[in-house]
Chain A
Amino acid sequence: MTRHDITLHVNGRRYDICVEPRKTLADALRDDCGLTGTHLGCEHGVCGACTIIADGETVRACLMFAIQAEGVELRTVEGLAQGNEMHPLQKAFVEHHGLQCGYCTPGFLMLAAGVLEKNPTIGDEELRDILASNLCRCTGYENIVKAVRAAAAEMGAAQ
């Protein structure tokens, strides 16, 4: 099947890749851009492991084709840390045991980052509702909520 030359912009960097139209954005990020931080669980929109930020909005990378993301500013978990300095969310996940196996973590981090950037003072109920978008089989969620709350406080204080 015909492949197409496309350019993706991820974490401020340009990736010139060649993909079939049927390749999902999540697969292209992993296989063609080498950005394996974005994980795939269900590949049909349910688990949220593949959540990334596209033009400022959190999206499921398994439910977009890579070719649709031409011209879109993409952000993945690889873009969160600044050099060796972890993002406040990443630090908070470590400190509050917001992860065990870590499979769901990139999706939760990007979900939380997208939401806190838009609404830094988000209420508890709404935050829980948003975090319910993604699945975690290890933590039981409480520590994820705690971690995101702590990061929100720190990010708010830093502003």
Chain B
Amino acid sequence: MKASAFIYHRPETIDEAVRLLGEVAPDDGRVIAGGQSLVPIMAFRMARPPHLIDINRIAGLDRLDTQDGWLRIGARVRHAAFHEGAIAGPTGALLAHVMRHIAHHPIRTRGTFCGSLAHADPASEWCATAAALDGVLVAQSTQGTREIAVRDYFEAVMTTALRPDEILVEARLPLLPAGTLTGFCEFSRRSGDFAIAMVLVTLRIEEGRIVAPRFTIGGAEAFPRRLAEVEALLTGAAPDMATWRVAGDLAASLLDPLEDSITSGEYRRDLVRALAPRAFQQACA
């Protein structure tokens, strides 16, 4: 369980980091952020990057602030930074609640939000959150900087639109309007384990009707996504158990579930059906 040898780089500026990555990316040189996914896969020799570019000393990447209605999350912002009270409003409450489902405390002190998006594990809570809120990712390389909408970002299991020579320098999430209700539920076999299905909902209730619902599934398919059909069904409906059940049934029927040796696709469908009403109940509690 020892990683294979690599050459270590510790740039102090983002320009130096992208220049280095540009040089070593063709040989599978990689960025190391929190290391909480990369170091285990290196220990298992599932990855043997000959170069690691450590971004943990680059000034400015630890920025976590709001500007013009967007939350901006730099590449060094750790999971633990989203603790209760760190960010105001419904977005802050949602992020603090979701964060508690990611691994365990000593992993959250190192692992990063942007690293989770770069890694793109289907079971990543932050990937589901970024999809739910229609986030935007900022990627930088020697070619310059570009923005990628999360909607266009995920391509397959652990495969994204991020190029090997690009560093994800920042993730941006549009802030939810005041009064937005949020709910997040996941199922995993033990607390702290990777989830095998999750449902994230946000909505407002005006005059007894559902307004601007977002319905997102994660962990159940190759990557997280909003389900437009479920959102259409919810819009204008009454916020009650009958609605939540119909939404859960529809989501389950729309699923293209992941299957593996222990978890069948049918089981994942059942989980989504069961989790949806719970997420809504949590939002409306």
Binding site for B on A (CB under 8 A): 1-2, 4, 20-22, 24, 27, 43-45, 48, 51, 57-60, 62-65, 67-68, 111, 114-115, 129-130, 132-134
A contact residues around B192 at 8 Å (CB): 132-133
How far apart sit A127 and B42, CA to CA, in the bound complex (Å)?
A: 31
Decide: A45 and B5 in contact? CB cutoff 8 A: no
Nearest CB in chain B: distance from A118 CB, A: 10
Q: Is B107 among interface residues, defined by CB-CB distance under 8 A?
A: yes
Determine, out of B33-41, B129-137, B138-146, B174-182, the stretch whose residues face the partner at the interface.
Answer: B33-41
Decide: A21 and B7 in contact? CB cutoff 8 A: yes
Decide: B6 and A21 in contact? CB cutoff 8 A: yes
Nearest CB in chain B: distance from A77 CB, A: 14
How far apart sit A55 and B199, CA to CA, in the bound complex (Å)?
A: 35
B contact residues around A44 at 8 Å (CB): 1, 39-40, 43-44
Decide: B39 and A20 in contact? CB cutoff 8 A: no
Decide: B3 and A22 in contact? CB cutoff 8 A: yes
Output the residue of B44, B100, B104 with the most chain A CB within 10 A.
B104
A contact residues around B28 at 8 Å (CB): none
Nearest CB in chain B: distance from A96 CB, A: 22
Decide: B44 and A60 in contact? CB cutoff 8 A: no
How far apart sit A22 and B43, CA to CA, in the bound complex (Å)?
A: 10
Q: Is B4 among interface residues, defined by CB-CB distance under 8 A?
A: yes
Instruction: Mark each residue of chain B from 53 to 69: 1 if its CB lies under 8 Å from any CB of chain A, else 0.
Output: 01010000000000000
A contact residues around B85 at 8 Å (CB): none
Q: Is B26 among interface residues, defined by CB-CB distance under 8 A?
A: no
Decide: A63 and B104 in contact? CB cutoff 8 A: no
B contact residues around A20 at 8 Å (CB): 5
Decide: B106 and A111 in contact? CB cutoff 8 A: yes
Instruction: Mark each residue of chain B from 193 to 205: 1 if its CB lies under 8 Å from any CB of chain A, else 0.
Output: 0000000000000
List 5 A-B pairs, minimum CB-CB distance, nearest first.
A133-B104, A21-B8, A44-B40, A43-B1, A1-B5
Decide: B105 and A115 in contact? CB cutoff 8 A: yes
Contacts A/B (CB < 8 Å), 24 sampled? A22-B6, A22-B42, A24-B2, A24-B3, A44-B1, A57-B80, A57-B109, A58-B106, A58-B109, A59-B106, A60-B106, A63-B107, A64-B39, A64-B110, A65-B35, A65-B39, A65-B52, A68-B32, A68-B56, A129-B105, A132-B192, A133-B104, A133-B192, A134-B104
Across the interface, B105 reaches (CB within 8 A) one of A1, A4, A130, namely A130
Decide: B110 and A59 in contact? CB cutoff 8 A: yes
Nearest CB in chain B: distance from A32 CB, A: 14
Decide: B105 and A45 in contact? CB cutoff 8 A: no
Q: Is B191 among interface residues, defined by CB-CB distance under 8 A?
A: yes
Q: List the A residue with the shortest CB-CB distance to B56.
A: A68
Nearest CB in chain A: distance from B187 CB, A: 17
B contact residues around A67 at 8 Å (CB): 8
How far apart sit A45 and B102, CA to CA, in the bound complex (Å)?
A: 13
Decide: A64 and B2 in contact? CB cutoff 8 A: no
How far apart sit A60 and B110, CA to CA, in the bound complex (Å)?
A: 9
How far apart sit A67 and B110, CA to CA, in the bound complex (Å)?
A: 15
A contact residues around B40 at 8 Å (CB): 44-45, 63
How far apart sit A111 and B104, CA to CA, in the bound complex (Å)?
A: 11
Nearest CB in chain B: distance from A128 CB, A: 10
Decide: B52 and A21 in contact? CB cutoff 8 A: yes
How far apart sit A133 and B56, CA to CA, in the bound complex (Å)?
A: 24
